[in-house]
């Protein structure tokens, strides 16, 4: 009974930013739970290592190359996904891709502000809008899972655009949920704490900051991409049907 509740057999999941890091952990869990996967990756990024890994698990996997900074490419994602899906439908959207740029506010370049807001927030909104419209107009149920951040809740240092974008991901998740949960679309976010990925790799050059951050994690160490398997499967599956507008913290109990 409970295994069935968490099963994603017959479900088609579209996920961005899953060629490495947290997204790779998520997509591995989704494939293990039986989902068919449509990986959205940057044209310049080769998805074959992850595709091979998921295929070995037994998943059906498709890829779509799209640059989330470019709104025309974002527009292509849903129609291409529907063409590739073996059921002709898509059931879950995971908006996980994200970038950051570090600079003091006084020196923050306009183009980096635009880039971070475009990838982390605007593309997420446009994808959610397209998928929501598709589910509503076809009388289908859907689930959206957005990757937020602890910086959705408190400001980071030297990452103004990232903090602004992730704060908005949190509030947008609630706004979408308010409009859509009554129409059968659950919208939730996953909130990573400090996770060992390329995004946090630079901290090794700043041992004081690394020690400070680690001292705030009661579990005693950074999280791993695999820590996201269970939470994403839960939020993608029928097990979470009565949950919407919520934030699932995956942060080792981080205390600010």
Between 131 and 194, name the residue whose CB sits nearer to ligand NAD.
194
Q: Which of 192, 146, 144 is nearest to 170 (CA)?
A: 146
Shortest reach from residue 222's CB to ligand NAD, in Å: 7
Between 98 and 142, name the residue whose CB sits nearer to ligand NAD.
98
Shortest reach from residue 80's CB to ligand NAD, in Å: 14
Between 137 and 255, name the residue whose CB sits nearer to ligand NAD.
255
Question: By the criterion CB under 6 A, which residues form the site for ligand NAD?
Answer: 16-17, 19-23, 42, 45, 67-69, 96-99, 119, 147, 149, 192, 194-195, 197-200
Just list the catalytic residues: 162
Between 12 and 22, name the residue whose CB sits nearer to ligand NAD.
22
Shortest reach from residue 183's CB to ligand NAD, in Å: 26
Shortest reach from residue 15's CB to ligand NAD, in Å: 10
């Amino acid at each position: 009974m409970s295994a069935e509740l968490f099963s994603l057999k017959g479900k088609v999941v579209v996920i961005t930013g899953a060629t490495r890091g947290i997204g790779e952990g998520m997509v591995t869990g989704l494939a293990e739970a039986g989902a068919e996967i449509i990986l959205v990756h940057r044209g310049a990024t080769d998805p074959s290592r992850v595709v091979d890994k998921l295929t070995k698990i037994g998943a059906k996997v498709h890829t779509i190359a799209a640059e989330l900074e470019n709104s025309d490419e974002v527009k292509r994602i849903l129609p291409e996904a529907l063409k590739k899906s073996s059921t002709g439908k898509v059931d879950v959207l995971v908006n996980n891709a994200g970038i950051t740029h570090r600079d003091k506010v006084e020196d923050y370049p306009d183009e980096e502000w635009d880039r971070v807001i475009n990838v982390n927030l605007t593309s997420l909104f446009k994808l959610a809008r397209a998928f929501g419209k598709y589910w509503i107009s076809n009388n289908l149920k859907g689930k959206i899972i957005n990757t937020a951040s602890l910086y959705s809740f408190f400001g980071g240092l030297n990452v103004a655009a990232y903090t602004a974008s992730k704060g908005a991901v949190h509030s947008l998740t609630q706004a979408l949920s308010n409009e859509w949960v009554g129409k059968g679309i659950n919208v939730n976010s996953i909130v990573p704490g400090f996770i060992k990925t390329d995004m946090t790799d630079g901290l090794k050059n700043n041992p004081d900051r690394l020690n400070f951050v680690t001292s705030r994690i009661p579990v005693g160490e950074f999280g791993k991409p695999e820590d996201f398997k269970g939470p994403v499967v839960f939020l993608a599956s029928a097990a979470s049907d009565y949950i919407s507008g919520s934030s699932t913290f995956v942060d080792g109990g981080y205390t600010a």
